[in-house]
Structure 1
Amino acid sequence: MSDISCKLLIIGAGPGGYVCAIRAGQLGIDTVVVDEGKPGGTCLNEGCIPSKALIHAADEFHKIARAPHGPLGICTGTPSLDFAKTIAWKDGIVRRLNSGVSALMKKAKVRFVTGRARFLDGKTVSINGSGDGQIIRAEYIVIASGSAPVELPDLPFGGPILTSSEAMKLTQVPESLAVVGGGYIGLELGTAFAKLGAQVTVAEAEDRILPLYDRELTRPVEARLDALGVTVLAGAKAQGYADGSLQTDQGPVAAEKVLVTVGRRPRTAGIGIEELALTQDGPFIKIDSYCQSSMRGIYAIGDVTGEPMLAHRAMAQGEMVAEHIAGHAVEWDKRAIPAVCFTDPEVVSCGAAPGEIAGTSSASFPLQANGRALASEREDGFVRVVWRDSDHAVEGIQAVGAGVSELSASFALAIEMGACLEDIGATIHAHPTQSEALHEACLHALGQALHI
């Protein structure tokens, strides 16, 4: 294949990479994207999208299975599950979105090259080679190669030991599943498989699940896991797999399959960044407020730049970088990036947590006092607001409850726009919706609570 010259080369077609490419194309920048896989990266192909499809299917199956035992008067027979068909449906959604991303890049006149890029120098990469492959030369290069699951020495991937990607490719629900790691990925998939009929055990090395969130937020999730029959082993360290069981320091756990979700590492090995001697921040690429690395003209976005490893953070960085290269006066200065755990119930955190910033206070409103939550049979949870004492500026908003992920945008918007408690308290919220809980939390903070 002939060599290519362009103004912008993006290594990786995940959420950060493809958004950067589309925006760059819109701005008239000659752009090329290189990726070994299909457009969309881990998020679209193996992570965010397929996992949410699996979670939805599990929720529907669980609702039908428990309907005769609930208070709604719904009578059904015992449901059965064709899991292979469920997976095929999930894969169909992924293919549709793959096609959509490809079409959007083509519309923006972005060229897509399939292969592995490796740096030869700060302006040149080789595709599928170390100088003998196709050569791409670019004025600017964006590293958006994403991340990969962390592998434990005692639990190497393969056979019954699964990554999250492999778990979503199973065509049969395992009778028993051990989840190593009680973070959001492990709990999302563990909960889904529990609803589909697997006996699930979660082994978390810390003293509780979701250790990055405060206990008040995680308590409803713990209660729900218990109700679903999920066993949680807190403070348990995995030590290997033998005789059909996960071996832990608290004893063996019967497990047909073991899902390892102990974190993710930046995917930078093999792309030749050692040729550039970029400044690192631990295992991550260090960047400035323009997402530029220590080498001029080399940018990095998304998971390779560290926490939070969130698709929407990568997307926002990608858009900003494209505009910076186009000469726009932009920089990375986000006050709040919402994080969502799609557990049951869901958890949302945006901005500062209680006690994180001096001179702040917090107040909550329980969903058991919210009409829409009660009418949906899901009253577990609350919405909490954190504000600055001096001027009532909202510094953080958190929530736990069924479907609260859909409130995340309003949480982020309130913080980004510099809203005060009085601003949200004076905003009319539609009734009956769960969004009223944010309104009521702010009123509670002002000493004007109406429904508690």
Structure 2
Amino acid sequence: MTEIACKLLVIGAGPGGYTCAIRAGQLGIDTIIVEAGKPGGTCLNVGCIPSKALIHAASEYETIAGAAEGKSALGISAAKPSLDFAKTIAWKDGIVRRLNGGVAGLLKKAGVRHIAGHARFRDGKSIEVATQSGLQTIHAETVVIATGSEPIAIPDLPFGGRVISSTEALALTEVPKKLVVVGGGYIGLELGTAFAKLGAAVTVVEAASRILPQYDAELSAPVARHLGALGIAILTGTKAKTLGADGTALMIETSSGEQRTLDADQILVTIGRKPATSRFGLESLDLDMTDSFIRIDDRCRTSMHGIFAIGDITGEPMLAHRAMAQGEMVAEIVAGQRRAWDRVSIPAICFTDPEIVTVGLSPSEASSKGFDVKTDLFPFKANGRAMTLQREDGFIRTVARADNHLLLGIQGVGVGIAELSAVFSLALEMGARLEDIAMTIHAHPTQSEAFHEAALKSLGHAIHI
């Protein structure tokens, strides 16, 4: 067993961990990062990046297939397309490999030592790492826990065989003929939509009364309509129970108690994620917890001196960009800078078709906090750019204080609207008011004009509606 020491030890090389390590290295801090898998964590390897690659490929295939079936209103025709799914997956994997190499290169450039292996705490200042060459002990002045999260399994429907998580779904070698998605949240609907466009017969099973229950109904409605247009069957108020006797069907139960089975080649379970707290020896530490999450303060400090925690392991929202912002902040705190978490908003995006973006407070959330609000939306059916894209479904909505017009939240649903998320966040972080948006020139023709028009409408003088 070998022993080494460092000033900062980061456990986990996901978005939060590698951002923390890179920033620390830039600041001259002697840093080691430990990761059992490839750099990039869930997001890069089996989550955000590969799923978006699959979503893009599916949309391209859908467009060509539609033209071949005479569904194009643009006068475009095409021969019946074929799909080499193995080549699609190889392309997706190539993107992941490039980004893996990019992260590894950035760590090296910042002077960070990268140790491949599984970390386990011995105490609050030292860990053991099981590497290919044997055990290695690392002693550190400060430790950052950034171990991320993992899929939640249904007790009577464990992962294995036909029952898969999003990780296995992104590694399938062929498109399943029949896919049942258990969970109508953003992960299930993103992947379910992609596979439906690639030719799978998709059924979504959701226990709540509607899909995307974490979003308000006004935002989820356009998504639900398009799922229907794609032929995806939606079973709400329905629970997945267990596999049938022969293992080829899923037993489900409706809210009324009716039970039946659904045939499935694959059953994709996406009911949520949980913090990855096991297998790291956290039980040897004295960390305060909030349910299954590590409790932190506004500087990401845990209840133990010298130990920080960032990312999914610290609770909602479990988003890569939150973890990255936390990681950067912690590195600067370790370097002696005065930093604290004072973010006004963290954008959340659902990459369904159409996409959903939420920043800040929804109308109901703002009202529940005691604000008297003004809220208005501008529909994309009145937006020229949306018409030229042949997708007029959706809108942009503003939520502002009624007294001084300070923006409290911005939401939208529409094709490609994810790219407006930074604009929405910037408006809230800069303390913009409705008048600021109304007086900013928005380029024409763009979908961003709907943001401008929503603000104008709330001020009582919308131009294009």
TM-score (norm 1): 0.99
Mapped to 2, the partners of 1:211 and 1:69 lie a distance apart of 32
The answer to whether structure 1 residue 366 and structure 2 residue 379 are counterparts is yes
| 3-state SS in 2 of match to 1:7 | strand
Q: Which amino acid aligns with 1:194?
A: A
Q: Specify the alignment match of 1:217 in structure 2.
A: 219
User: Retained in 2: the 8 A contact 1:355–1:361?
Assistant: no
The answer to whether structure 1 residue 90 and structure 2 residue 92 are counterparts is yes
Q: Which amino acid aligns with 1:40?
A: G
Mapped to 1, the partners of 2:32 and 2:397 lie a distance apart of 44
The answer to whether structure 1 residue 292 and structure 2 residue 301 are counterparts is yes
Q: Specify the alignment match of 1:148 in structure 2.
A: 150
Q: Deviations over 1:47-70 (max 9, x none)?
A: 000000000000000011112312
Aligned length in residues: 450
Q: Deviations over 1:86-140 (max 9, x none)?
A: 00000000000000000000000000001111111110001129xx921000000
Where does structure 1 lack aligned partners over 5 or more consecutive residues? none
Q: Specify the alignment match of 1:412 in structure 2.
A: 425
Q: Which amino acid aligns with 1:246?
A: L
User: Retained in 2: the 8 A contact 1:50–1:94?
Assistant: yes
| 3-state SS in 2 of match to 1:200 | strand
Q: 2:332 aligns with which of 323, 334, 356?
A: 323
| 3-state SS in 2 of match to 1:258 | strand
Q: Specify the alignment match of 1:34 in structure 2.
A: 34
Q: Deviations over 1:293-343 (max 9, x none)?
A: 000110000000000000000000000000011111111111100000000
Q: Specify the alignment match of 1:240 in structure 2.
A: 242
Q: Specify the alignment match of 1:384 in structure 2.
A: 397
The answer to whether structure 1 residue 402 and structure 2 residue 425 are counterparts is no
Mapped to 1, the partners of 2:344 and 2:39 lie a distance apart of 29
Mapped to 1, the partners of 2:216 and 2:403 lie a distance apart of 24
Q: Specify the alignment match of 2:45 in structure 1.
A: 45
Q: 2:253 aligns with which of 249, 254, 268?
A: 249
User: Retained in 2: the 8 A contact 1:336–1:412?
Assistant: yes
Give how far 1:168 is off: 0.6
User: Retained in 2: the 8 A contact 1:292–1:299?
Assistant: yes
Q: Deviations over 1:338-379 (max 9, x none)?
A: 000000000000000012122112100000111100000000
Mapped to 2, the partners of 1:422 and 1:186 lie a distance apart of 39
Q: 1:157 aligns with which of 156, 159, 171?
A: 159
Q: Specify the alignment match of 2:283 in structure 1.
A: 274
Q: Which amino acid aligns with 1:72?
A: L
Give how far 1:275 is off: 1.0
User: Retained in 1: the 8 A contact 2:2–2:135?
Assistant: no
User: Retained in 2: the 8 A contact 1:179–1:260?
Assistant: yes
| 3-state SS in 1 of match to 2:426 | helix
Q: Deviations over 1:371-426 (max 9, x none)?
A: 10000000000000000111100000000000000000000000000000000100
Q: Which amino acid aligns with 1:314?
A: A
Give how far 1:148 is off: 0.4
TM-score (norm 2): 0.96
| 3-state SS in 2 of match to 1:384 | strand
The answer to whether structure 1 residue 336 and structure 2 residue 332 are counterparts is no
Q: Which amino acid aligns with 2:352?
A: T
The answer to whether structure 1 residue 15 and structure 2 residue 19 are counterparts is no
User: Retained in 2: the 8 A contact 1:13–1:35?
Assistant: yes
Mapped to 2, the partners of 1:236 and 1:355 lie a distance apart of 26
Q: 2:455 aligns with which of 442, 448, 452?
A: 442
Mapped to 1, the partners of 2:269 and 2:342 lie a distance apart of 34
Where does structure 2 lack aligned partners over 5 or more consecutive residues? 255-259
Mapped to 2, the partners of 1:58 and 1:65 lie a distance apart of 10
Q: Specify the alignment match of 1:116 in structure 2.
A: 118
* Identical-residue share of aligned pairs (%): 62
User: Retained in 2: the 8 A contact 1:125–1:136?
Assistant: yes
1:178-197 correspondence runs (5 A): 178-197=180-199
Give how far 1:4 is off: 1.4
Mapped to 1, the partners of 2:5 and 2:374 lie a distance apart of 55
Mapped to 2, the partners of 1:409 and 1:353 lie a distance apart of 17
